[in-house]
Structure 1
């Protein structure tokens, strides 16, 4: 029963706090790096590479067992609409 509470209520809150802390950390690092002369594009490349290396092991730790939805037109239209609004 305690695990169900943890996954339902505590885990999303913890993920939200971790995401916000990483945004604040990246903003602080960008400010320091840009004062030293690092380009915005290089910083974005490095931060995306580090994020990729950090998230890649999770693919093997938590494999997905669900099937992907079929790529029909309504599904692709929803993705396009989300990308347009985002």
Structure 2
């Protein structure tokens, strides 16, 4: 059985939360941002009854100012939750 990673949780305001999981030399970072509209196209939708997860994977691009510029970032996944039509 492997040793579990170190989990840290940070709050930047009432609406922004960051969870960092450290496993050896790598990190998994989860950032919660709350908004009312889904702005992405070409995404995957997984539904159970009236609740759906919306999944959009982005590739970090060097020099792209929209993302944190880290050489070690391998994947960015945006996850949204849709309940009924909202």
| TM-score interval (norm. to shorter) | under 0.3
Q: Which has the higher contact order (CA 8 A, sep 6+)?
A: 2
Rg: which structure is higher? Answer: 1
TM-score by length of 2: 0.22
TM-score, with structure 1 as normaliser: 0.22
